[in-house]
């Protein structure tokens, strides 16, 4: 898909799915705004991509920083056509009875409030421009409990509902809100899960995890009109039919 002239803002762009999404969208011709707390990582990635990339240090859990990032992206590229809500964490993995309340809350701040902050910050810009796409990384954890992941499951379930709410309120204004459930991906998060040794996910062989460029390529495909039928819903990369549409098999 040709994204020339379009601008894509990606949270959690310092590594994993976010970094690969930046590369995929840039290769498709888009301008990419790279948001993350890891300043050196996004600076290096912006240097790799070139003048179409803008590195913006940002903590998505703080609305003021997210709003400032949107403003900086507008000033540099003129528009924000796509928001990829990718930033997310899973540590500290812990059972409810022993969970640290502050650590549990930090995950909610990033995984849930961070997604809301991104949506809230870009909506006025997108609506003024006549529309845009808000693509959010979901998870199978949104739909079923997983041992020691209460914070992650709760945040992803809430994010799934945020996508549905956004679609219900803003579809008529040209906003395309779609979730992507990628399955297990070979990223640093999976290394943290593996190290925890808790629940069946931590026992999976590394070879079963998909490479991070698969969800990145799916996100690019989700910008096509062909994905409109999933607005307000969630696309699963576990579905072979979706993998074929994206060109992964």
248 Rama class: left (phi>0) / alpha (psi -120 to 50) / beta: alpha
In a domain, 158, yes or no: yes
Residue 1 in any domain: the answer is no
Residue 157 confidence (pLDDT): 97
pLDDT for 37 = 94
Domain count, the chain: 1
In a domain? residue 78: yes
Residue at 35 is within a domain: yes
Spell out, as residue ranges, where the chain has pLDDT lower than 70.
none
pLDDT at residue number 38:
86
Prediction pTM value: 0.94
**Among candidate residues 183, 142, 181, 184, the one with its CA nearest the CA of residue 159:** 142
Q: Would 200 be classed as within a structural domain? A: yes
d(CA 124, CA 206): 42
- Domain assignment present for residue 214? The answer is yes
**Residue 249: per-residue pLDDT:** 83
Token duo for residue 22? 């930046």
**What CATH number should be reported for the domain holding residue 126?**
3.40.50.720
Is 165 inside a domain boundary?
yes
Q: pLDDT of 74-85, one tens digit each? A: 999 999 999 999
pLDDT tens-digit readout, 98-130: 999 999 999 999 999 999 999 999 999 999 999
| Cis? peptide before 92, omega within 30° of 0 | yes
pLDDT at 1: 84
Give the pLDDT score at 6: 98
2 is a domain residue: no
| Domain extent for 208 | 7-246
Residue with tokens 């930090």: 106
**Would you name the residues annotated as active-site residues?**
152
């Amino acid at each position: 898909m040709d994204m020339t002239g379009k601008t894509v803002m990606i949270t959690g762009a310092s590594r994993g799915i976010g970094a690969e999404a930046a590369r995929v969208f840039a290769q498709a011709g888009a301008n990419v705004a790279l948001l993350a707390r890891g300043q050196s990582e996004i600076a290096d990635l912006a240097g790799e991509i070139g003048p179409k990339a803008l590195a913006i240090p940002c903590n998505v859990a703080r609305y003021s920083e997210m709003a400032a990032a949107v403003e900086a992206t507008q000033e540099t590229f003129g528009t924000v056509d796509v928001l990829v809500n990718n930033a997310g964490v899973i540590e500290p993995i812990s059972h409810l009875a022993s969970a640290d309340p502050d650590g549990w809350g930090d995950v909610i701040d990033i995984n849930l409030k961070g997604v809301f902050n991104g949506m809230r910050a870009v909506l006025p810009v997108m609506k003024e421009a006549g529309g845009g796409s808000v693509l959010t990384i979901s998870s199978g954890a949104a739909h079923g409990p997983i041992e020691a992941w209460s914070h992650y499951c709760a945040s992803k379930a809430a994010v799934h509902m945020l996508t549905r709410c956004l679609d219900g309120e803003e579809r008529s204004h040209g906003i395309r809100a779609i979730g992507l459930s990628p399955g297990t991906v070979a990223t640093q998060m999976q290394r943290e899960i593996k190290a925890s040794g808790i629940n069946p996910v931590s026992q999976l062989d590394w070879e079963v995890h998909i490479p991070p460029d698969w969800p990145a390529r799916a996100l690019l495909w989700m910008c096509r009109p062909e994905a409109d039928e999933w607005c307000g819903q969630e696309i699963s990369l576990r579905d072979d039919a979706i993998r074929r549409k994206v060109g992964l098999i």
